[in-house]
Structure 1
Amino acid sequence: MNPAATLRLRRFTAFAFTAWACLALLHNVMAHYVRAPAPEWPLEIAGVGGIFIIQATSPEGARKGIRAGDRLLAFDGQPLGHWSSRGRLALTEGVPNVYTVEKPDGKRRDYQLSPQPPGAIGPVSTILQLAILGVGLVYLTIGMAVWRSRPGRVEAWALLLFCTTMATALFTAVRADNVPWAYPRMVLNTPLLGAAAFHLFTTYPFEPHWIVRHRRIQLLPYGAALLIGALFFLQAPLGLPPALAPGLSFLSGLAFAAVGLGTLVRERRREHDPDVTARADVMLIGALVSFVPVLLILIAQYFLRSSLPYYYAMVWLFFFPIAVAYGILRRDLFDIRGAAKSSVAYGLASVAITGVYAVLIAFSDALIVSFDVNARSPAFQVGFLFFAILLFNPIRNSLQRFVDRTFDRDRATYRHAVREISEAMVSMLSLREIGDRILIALTDTMGVERAMVLLLDDDERVLRPTAWRGDWDSPSLNTEIPASHPIWKHLWMRREELTRRDFDDEPDPEARESCRDVFDTLEMEILVPILFGVDLLGVIAVGRKITGERLGVDDRQLLRTLANQSAIAIENAQAYDEIAKLNETLEARVEERTQELRETQQQLVQAEKMKSLGQLVAGVAHELNNPIGFVHANLQLMDDYVNKLLRAEKDSPEAEKARAAINKLLSRSQEGTNRVKQIVLDLKTFSRMDQTAVQEVNLHEEIDRTLTLMEPRLKDAITVRREYGDIPRVRCNAGQLNQVFMNLLMNACDALEEQGGEIRIASAPHGGGVRLEFQDDGPGMSPEVQSRIFDPFYTTKEPGKGTGLGLSMSHQIIERHGGRMVVSSQEGHGARFIIDLPLDATPVEAE
């Protein structure tokens, strides 16, 4: 059967069995709490396997000689086994019925008894009925809850089938005489209950190999239960004995459950996995507490005609589903054997203390009689009480310490180990030493066969073995768990210890097998993550104990404590190593980084300078082309005029005209060469701005020099308005200030490039220094842009048209000169840059 069909089968049967239990509950509630009260039976009976034993009778029946333990055979001449044909027995108040009873000696008698009036049942029976209904609801709720939380698990399915059939039995068991179809339901449900028990015991926590190979064996008891149900309805037409089908129902149910339980016990003895055996122990203890009392009463009632009502013991049945659900849902099981051992020890100690005090009281009484002491005097009573209190506490404390040392030695040893490890790890700064200390605690304190500590290699993001104890082979010691491994994710996300069984619910088969391979390769029983905050620092891998016992709750608590302590120690050791390495290389790294920053700064300055020079070269080339062009043309004309002069040497008027033209050409050529010389001089001055010395300069001349270089960009619909005031000379680095002026003017030209406009340059004395203003009537800037305009690498230009360093460098230059540079702008109303400089604006680096 493919997985999809198997899942559909499980869902269908889960729904059918749940509906079966809910129907029984509905019939019980309707019969006893919804319908009008009906007359009560004069006899209280318990039916097992077609045998009905009288357990109590009405006062009328007692007067007529009916006793508990008698067997009820027929009602109004009709065998009780034929109830199925009528659903339920109808009683009429005041109308007597005939009951055929068989005495223990085998004699049969007919008794005419009237029904008891409605409500005649006693409060004890009512409370018992409600309690059994509550236990049935516990079964139904637990089965549905486990199935809902583990819908894909076969053990959850088996538990649901068992819980629903048991709930049906509980809902039908008490006061079945008033419940419709109660008897047929019990006959049908009993073998189903046995089949479900067999199914559960052969599924969880072990699956025998013969069940794994032939899973249909688990379905055979269900088929037998259906056949018995069919036989029950056909036995009357076939003329079979009425007790045949009920007897088979009881015996088959008992047999199925017994075979399943025997299989569980047999597999428990063969299993060596301590975690699985612990779950089997929980299940067996739950079955022992819940079912043995009921089974003993049922067997006694069936074979010995006991009159003890079996449903009295049904109140204890609630323990079994809780135990099984606890084993299925919980990862870490409570150490039952350890708790039982301690409980027995403390019980024996209490008995011993009681015996000591009994002897003490007897001895004291003998002393009082011998010495004729007045034991009733207040002084004697107070003194004796004080003496008893003083004696009691030392004895109690001594016995408690003795029990702890003798029966709870592991817990005391663990507490001592944790204390020692906590003190030792405070001073550990070596990862190897930390790993060795953890392993010593594991092997010596817990007594495990082998253990390993895997720590994180942060460079390669893998967990590698760092320390180990025990017998290891080379493949295990070379194990690496990379960050991409599924088990890494589980360790980091779950943040708790993991066992191989924790991956049974993993939906990805490949991830499930990959995680299981880690446990199989290392032969580990448990992996404990070492976590610090959100970081996974390592893993503690622990094998089995030498004694073969499972790792209990105390063991896991010790492992968690070790992991927490080691996480802090590992973090401290890594921090210490980092500090040591930093101390070794700090000065070299600082010098290296400083040199890198210097080189980067020089490169950025040079890049900005080259950008400005590149823009200047384009304009300078145009400016140089004009004077050179007309100088070249004039030289050609001058050559013609010289030739004419030589030819007209004798003609005095012509010679005078030639000389005048030559002088004019020479004059114009001189003007052109002077223009070229000035452009070259300005360019040379600008290009060597970082090499200029600090001196007193006329800022107007420096601005004009920059404007001269900017003329190619200022001719296209851009006008410059100078509003120079009377300002003194300023001591500064002229080359650096020229860079500032160039950056401001280029940004203004960029802002006015499309629509043209005006650039206003103003100067005036201000606060003992000078103030310069560069203003344009371009599109302006938003407040957000203004707040970041001086940030390095911030630019509003298109990619490739700006570095975002011009204004940042300009702002730094002005600040180094002891000045201040601010911007004010509104969108659509241009931008204004204000520079305030002191008269002695010597740059900081020049001092």
Structure 2
Amino acid sequence: MRQFCLGGSCHSEAAGVRTTAQRSWRKGCAAALVLAALGLTLTCGVTSSGWIDTPFPGFFVMANRVVASVNLPHWPVAHHSDIYQHVVVAVNDQPVATSAELYAFVRSFPPDSALTYTLEKDGQISRITLPSLIFTVEDYFFLFATYLFTGLALSLIGISVWFLKPANPASRALFIGGLAGGFFALTGVDLYFPHWFFRLHVLSEAFFPAGLVHLALVFPVERLSRYHPLSLSVPYLVALALGAAYEFFLYQPAAYSFIHSFCMVYAGIAGLILLSGIIWDYHTTTSHLIRQRIRIILLGFLGGYAFPAALMLSSGVTEGGWAINYAAFTAFLFPLSLGYAVVKHDLFEIDILLRRGIYYLTLTALLSLTYFAFLALLTFTLRSSEVAHSPLFPLLFTLVAVLLLNPLKDHLQRGVDRVFFRLRYNPKKVLEVTSASLASTLQLDEILSLIWRTINETVGVKQGGIFLLPSNARQYAQVYPKTRNALHLPIEHPLIQGVQQKGRVFSLYDVADEAFPPEVQERDRKGLEHIGAQLLVPLTLKGDLIGLIALGNKESGTFFSADDSDFLYTLANQSALSIANALAYQEIQELNAGLEKKVEERTQALAHANSELHASLGQLEQTYRDLQHSHEHLLRAEKMAALGRLTAGIAHEINTPLGASLTSLKLMQDLVQEYSTSIGDSEVEERDHQEIAAQMDKLVRATQQWMEKAA
């Protein structure tokens, strides 16, 4: 079947299918890795629980009989750390070939039995006598539980960061480093027995430094971009060589110890490279987002290692009364801060977390120092006092701590804000004054001037402008400050869509989110540069974006903080309502003015129509009068015509008989003359005279008839 595509729809559908497939594949991989980490944690947790209530030498050896570099403060080996990485060759002069033989030999003696171990390293033989111990639940918690917790946390952090940001180079580096470090810690529980994951452990140990170097090359900024693939392959080639050497020489103690030492040096150098790169970027970068990320990392570093420092201090004050293994439970905070810095691109969320982190870290440190100082004071002053041994003393001490906690927290919060997050203005008071001022006017120009002046006086921004969407328009226009070449943003502009989607303050660093393709990031960046803005604050009313406030650089050179963002967002919400009211009032004024103009025009038109009507009425009256005169003349003419016709008829009636009579008389006169002439004429006969007489008689009678008619 052939497929026809219009407008690139097939390409879009194919891209959507491909994206869905990639997302499904990524979900499957992440789920499989999480299950693997959980399964490894459960397996190692169950197998390691077999040590509880079991006699052991007071130290651990691995499958190759090398003494592991691990201990607890109350173990005797803590004072003999020089035996680490030595090979145990005999116990009480009884040769042992495997770690299982060593543990079985120790279990054959009652606990606290002094046993002499023969050790070998670099061809030199040494002996040490140590008592055997019972591995307690407390030992399990302080040692194996910390391994399991830290390993699982590292694994989940690496998997989560990669799942959330799969295209980010830093997330890939943290993914490899997190998995390697997590599996290294998880399999560390299995090192001492039953050694199922010994090879996975050493392989993870080899690749963990490579992940750190990888992370240092791409985070917080990418380095060596020109030689990026080659530079990233180097640390993994080193890790691959170390892993291969580990696997090959795993059960050769001397070679194993050498490779292990090299891996530890490699890890230390990788850590220094990462920290050095972070410190260098903090001092050289101009990006506020990168600096905030580095501050988060520093906070995680302090959170991960401040607690261990406090434990060491307390252990020293109490003369070893506190176990320092608790410190391992906070080590995950450093990779967690790295993961958060990689994933998060919202500058203001990072700022809020940074503030809370500094506050709680400072509070914890201050409370710990206060507690330890007070504890030391009691230890040296009330050691022999009866008050310290009273059953009410712990209760009184707790009540005092509770009473002082809230005031201490309040003072500390103000102190942290004053030292680290000081503002030049009081947002609450400024908003109250501005709200009252906005409510007192309905003039749009006054409102816009007040908003801009408030922003300038508080945040300290001179560059930018206020954009509004006129009614029935398709683009946002800069309405304040007024310029000759006012800027415009079409409603289809990506920046407008980004502000609408986020619904809150949109910053320059939201553009750099890896969730958007590079061409989209570049387009949005150019859009912000076009209007000279680093921050867009939406003016939203009932879910509609009626405008926005574009802000450039602060005069102080610093970037906007979370407090600035909250202040501007609240100010924009207040301003949006006032602007909407002012626009409505302006529209009403324009409608009133238009209505008044229309009324005036209609009045003038009506007056003109009235004048024309009066003129028309005058003309109509004149026409009517003329018509009446014409009618009268017509009637008079008709009467005269009728009279004429009557007269003509009468005259006709008279003239006709008269004419006929005159004709008859003329004929009679002619006959009389003819008769007179004929008298005495011999040729005229009697008959002729009779004929003349008859005709005369006829004419007389006819004349008589016509005269009767005329009469």
Task: Note whether the superposition's TM-score is higher than 0.5.
Answer: yes
| Distance across 2 between alignment mates of 1:122 and 1:455 | 68
Who is 1:481 aligned against? 489
Who is 2:298 aligned against? 284
Of 415, 422, 425, 2:435 maps to 422
| Aligned residues of 2:142 and 2:325 also touching (Cα < 8 A) | no
Q: Which amino acid aligns with 1:167?
A: G
The alignment status of 1:99 with 2:113, answered yes or no, reads: no
Per-residue Cα deviation, 1:435-489 (whole angstroms, up to 9, x for no partner): 32222222221123523211113333211222249xx9x8xx5432101212222
| Aligned residues of 2:52 and 2:136 also touching (Cα < 8 A) | no
C-alpha change, 1:495 and 1:123, in structure 2 (3 Å) is same
Who is 1:333 aligned against? 350
The alignment status of 1:466 with 2:485, answered yes or no, reads: no
Who is 1:108 aligned against? 126
Per-residue Cα deviation, 1:249-274 (whole angstroms, up to 9, x for no partner): 11112212221221122122111111
- The alpha-carbon deviation at position 221 of structure 1 amounts to 1.3
C-alpha change, 1:405 and 1:221, in structure 2 (3 Å) is closer
Who is 2:220 aligned against? 205
C-alpha change, 1:92 and 1:350, in structure 2 (3 Å) is closer
- Provide the aligned length of Structure 1 versus Structure 2: 519
C-alpha change, 1:214 and 1:399, in structure 2 (3 Å) is closer
Please, what TM-score do these two structures have when normalized by structure 2? Answer: 0.61
State how 1:789-804 maps to structure 2 within 5 Å.
Answer: none
- The alpha-carbon deviation at position 315 of structure 1 amounts to 1.2
Per-residue Cα deviation, 1:746-783 (whole angstroms, up to 9, x for no partner): xxxxxxxxxxxxxxxxxxxxxxxxxxxxxxxxxxxxxx
| Aligned residues of 1:54 and 1:71 also touching (Cα < 8 A) | no
C-alpha change, 1:192 and 1:592, in structure 2 (3 Å) is farther
User: What is the SS of the residue equivalent to 2:533?
Assistant: coil
- The alpha-carbon deviation at position 179 of structure 1 amounts to 4.5
Who is 1:431 aligned against? 444
| Aligned residues of 2:303 and 2:361 also touching (Cα < 8 A) | no
User: What is the SS of the residue equivalent to 1:214?
Assistant: helix
| Distance across 2 between alignment mates of 1:66 and 1:491 | 60
Cα RMSD for the two superposed structures: 5.0
The alignment status of 1:492 with 2:504, answered yes or no, reads: no
User: What is the SS of the residue equivalent to 1:157?
Assistant: helix
C-alpha change, 1:215 and 1:454, in structure 2 (3 Å) is farther
- The alpha-carbon deviation at position 135 of structure 1 amounts to 3.3
| Distance across 2 between alignment mates of 1:31 and 1:291 | 30
Of 592, 604, 625, 1:583 maps to 592
State how 1:340-489 maps to structure 2 within 5 Å.
Answer: 409-410=422-423, 413-448=426-461, 450-468=463-481, 478-489=486-497
State how 1:504-523 maps to structure 2 within 5 Å.
Answer: 504-507=513-516, 509-523=518-532
| Distance across 2 between alignment mates of 1:460 and 1:539 | 15
Q: Which amino acid aligns with 1:190?
A: E
- The alpha-carbon deviation at position 213 of structure 1 amounts to 4.4
- The alpha-carbon deviation at position 403 of structure 1 amounts to 8.9
Of 553, 556, 559, 1:547 maps to 556
| Distance across 2 between alignment mates of 1:417 and 1:67 | 63
- The alpha-carbon deviation at position 113 of structure 1 amounts to 7.3
- The alpha-carbon deviation at position 86 of structure 1 amounts to 7.0
| Aligned residues of 1:454 and 1:540 also touching (Cα < 8 A) | yes
C-alpha change, 1:330 and 1:516, in structure 2 (3 Å) is closer
Who is 1:191 aligned against? 206
- The alpha-carbon deviation at position 425 of structure 1 amounts to 1.0
Q: Which amino acid aligns with 2:221?
A: F
| Distance across 1 between alignment mates of 2:540 and 2:323 | 58
Per-residue Cα deviation, 1:682-734 (whole angstroms, up to 9, x for no partner): xxxxxxxxxxxxxxxxxxxxxxxxxxxxxxxxxxxxxxxxxxxxxxxxxxxxx
| Distance across 2 between alignment mates of 1:342 and 1:148 | 30
| Distance across 2 between alignment mates of 1:347 and 1:244 | 41
Per-residue Cα deviation, 1:309-368 (whole angstroms, up to 9, x for no partner): 9855321112123323333236121357766887899999999x99xxxxxxxxxxxxxx
C-alpha change, 1:236 and 1:297, in structure 2 (3 Å) is farther
- The alpha-carbon deviation at position 56 of structure 1 amounts to 5.6
| Distance across 2 between alignment mates of 1:395 and 1:255 | 41
The alignment status of 1:529 with 2:538, answered yes or no, reads: yes
The alignment status of 1:254 with 2:254, answered yes or no, reads: no
- The alpha-carbon deviation at position 216 of structure 1 amounts to 3.3
- The alpha-carbon deviation at position 559 of structure 1 amounts to 0.9
- The alpha-carbon deviation at position 236 of structure 1 amounts to 7.0
State how 1:756-771 maps to structure 2 within 5 Å.
Answer: none
Q: Which amino acid aligns with 2:502?
A: R
| Distance across 2 between alignment mates of 1:233 and 1:198 | 22
Who is 2:574 aligned against? 565
Using CA pairs under 8 Å that are at least 6 residues apart, name the structure with larger relative contact order, 1 or 2: 2
| Distance across 2 between alignment mates of 1:512 and 1:17 | 32
User: What is the SS of the residue equivalent to 2:440?
Assistant: coil
Who is 1:145 aligned against? 160
User: What is the SS of the residue equivalent to 1:547?
Assistant: coil
- The alpha-carbon deviation at position 42 of structure 1 amounts to 1.7
Who is 1:170 aligned against? 185
User: What is the SS of the residue equivalent to 1:458?
Assistant: coil
| Distance across 1 between alignment mates of 2:411 and 2:72 | 53
| Aligned residues of 1:345 and 1:407 also touching (Cα < 8 A) | no
Structure number with the higher helix fraction is 2
- The alpha-carbon deviation at position 577 of structure 1 amounts to 0.9
C-alpha change, 1:66 and 1:488, in structure 2 (3 Å) is closer
Q: Which moved more, 1:153-162 or 1:221-230?
A: 153-162
User: What is the SS of the residue equivalent to 2:560?
Assistant: coil
Per-residue Cα deviation, 1:522-558 (whole angstroms, up to 9, x for no partner): 3422211111112211111122322222211101001
Who is 1:717 aligned against? none
Q: Which amino acid aligns with 2:503?
A: R
| Distance across 2 between alignment mates of 1:315 and 1:140 | 15
- The alpha-carbon deviation at position 582 of structure 1 amounts to 1.9
| Distance across 1 between alignment mates of 2:359 and 2:35 | 44
- Percent identity at matched positions? 24
| Distance across 1 between alignment mates of 2:245 and 2:324 | 26
C-alpha change, 1:296 and 1:57, in structure 2 (3 Å) is closer
Per-residue Cα deviation, 1:591-615 (whole angstroms, up to 9, x for no partner): 999xxxxxxxxxxxxxxxxxxxxxx
| Distance across 2 between alignment mates of 1:236 and 1:162 | 22
User: What is the SS of the residue equivalent to 2:566?
Assistant: helix
| Distance across 1 between alignment mates of 2:431 and 2:74 | 68
- The alpha-carbon deviation at position 572 of structure 1 amounts to 0.5
| Distance across 2 between alignment mates of 1:520 and 1:397 | 42
Per-residue Cα deviation, 1:118-142 (whole angstroms, up to 9, x for no partner): xx42425335533442333333333
| Aligned residues of 2:58 and 2:131 also touching (Cα < 8 A) | no
| Aligned residues of 1:45 and 1:52 also touching (Cα < 8 A) | yes
| Distance across 2 between alignment mates of 1:349 and 1:66 | 30
Q: Which amino acid aligns with 2:157?
A: I
Q: Which moved more, 1:181-190 or 1:234-243?
A: 234-243
| Distance across 2 between alignment mates of 1:213 and 1:522 | 36
| Distance across 2 between alignment mates of 1:551 and 1:39 | 59
For structure 2, the 5+ residue unaligned runs are 1-14, 110-114, 313-321, 372-405, 603-711
Who is 1:154 aligned against? 169
Structure number with the higher strand fraction is 1
The alignment status of 1:133 with 2:148, answered yes or no, reads: yes
| Distance across 2 between alignment mates of 1:399 and 1:121 | 41
Q: Please say which structure displays the higher CA radius of gyration.
A: 2
- The alpha-carbon deviation at position 571 of structure 1 amounts to 0.3
Per-residue Cα deviation, 1:260-301 (whole angstroms, up to 9, x for no partner): 221122122111111221011101331344268889999xxx
| Distance across 2 between alignment mates of 1:184 and 1:296 | 36
Q: Which moved more, 1:129-138 or 1:419-428?
A: 129-138
| Distance across 1 between alignment mates of 2:409 and 2:264 | 52
Q: Which amino acid aligns with 1:180?
A: H
- The alpha-carbon deviation at position 163 of structure 1 amounts to 2.1
